[in-house]
Amino acid sequence: MKRLGIGMLALVLLSATCAYGACSPELVDVGGYRIWMQVAGHGDPTVVFESGGGSDSSVWASVEPQIRAHARVRTVLYDRAGLGKSEPAPGPYAIDHEVGALERALHKCGVRGSLVLVSHSYGGFVSTLMAASDRHIVGIVFVDANLGSFFDKAEVDHLLAKYTPQFDAFQKAKPELARVMIPVMQAYPDTATRVRSVELPLTLPVIDIVAENTWADSPEELTAMRQAHAEFVAASPAREALFAKGSGHYVMHDRPQLVIDAVERMVKWVRAKHPDTPTMK
């Protein structure tokens, strides 16, 4: 996540109600502010794309249309509060507000039934919290995503010590994004603790894609990260590891076909497990 959440700092310094089944991109009121959401296509399950911290839904541009067409599914793209076309959320930041906003927007856009979450980076936190309690989520594809088990106190302290001194430069370089992301960064201790307090159901199928050239700064951090992912997959036969050889953190950019194939395979698995699930509406 570091490059698209807390780590988005380094990258940045370098550089309404919808009808069921489909709706034009629009801003959806989620309680005092509006987030941008697009629901497109037809078919179960619905595939919901969750972007990393500091990133908007445009990161999925190379994979979402192909998945929608080839897998014959309905897809959901959206921007979290303050990112992309979405409005900032009022009040202090809490990751549960992100989950609640997504759930309310899906409801207002008429998205019902089974959901497959495709989650990159910080989006792994959001998806973990949502999937821990929502029985409608029938599968997850993690795309170099955050796992709560890796972000213990030592790792969070390391990240904050590294990036907090850069906040002033961040505010000068990208003031609008900084207004959104600095609170996310400052809330990281509470966020990590919250995510570690829940567990994904062991029966929930997960494909865990890990990038070869991820954001870890040191060999020790990389080893710890890969160990966390290995232990996560080993905890359940419903989980599968997928190594994105040659890819950086943005696997959907570097290895788009790998992501497309993983999502399509998850959709097929869900349909096989629930044979009464229609492939078209």
Could you give the CA distance from residue 197 to residue 15 in angstroms, rounded to a whole number?
36
192 domain-assigned: yes
Give me the number of domains the chain comprises: 1
202 domain-assigned: yes
pLDDT of residue 95: 98
22 domain-assigned: yes
7 domain-assigned: yes
Which of 62, 194, 63 shows the shortest CA–CA distance to 129? 194
pLDDT in tens, the chain (281 residues): 334 343 444 433 333 333 334 456 899 999 999 999 999 999 999 999 999 999 999 999 999 999 999 999 999 999 999 999 999 999 999 999 999 999 999 999 999 999 999 999 999 999 999 999 999 999 999 999 999 999 999 999 999 999 999 999 999 999 999 999 999 999 999 999 999 999 999 999 999 999 999 999 999 999 999 999 999 999 999 999 999 999 999 999 999 999 999 999 999 999 998 665 444 33
CA dihedral 207, 209, 210, 211 (to 10 degrees): 180
Q: What is the CATH number of the domain that holds 52?
A: 3.40.50.1820
238 domain-assigned: yes
130 domain-assigned: yes
Domain range for 85 is 2-272
20 domain-assigned: yes
277 domain-assigned: no
pLDDT of residue 279: 40
Could you give the CA distance from residue 277 to residue 179 in angstroms, rounded to a whole number?
43
pLDDT of residue 188: 98
Concatenated DSSP letters of the chain: -GGGSTTHHHHHHH-----TT-EEEEEEESSSSEEEEEEE---SSEEEEEPPTT--GGGGTTTHHHHHHHTT--EEEE--TTSTTPPPPSSS--HHHHHHHHHHHHHHTT--S-EEEEEETTHHHHHHHHHHH-TTEEEEEEES---TTT--HHHHHHHHHHHGGGHHHHHHH-HHHHHHHHHHHHTHHHHHHHHHT----TTS-EEEEEEEE-S-SSHHHHHHHHHHHHHHHHT-TTEEEEEEEEEES-HHHHSHHHHHHHHHHHHHHHHHHSTTS-S--
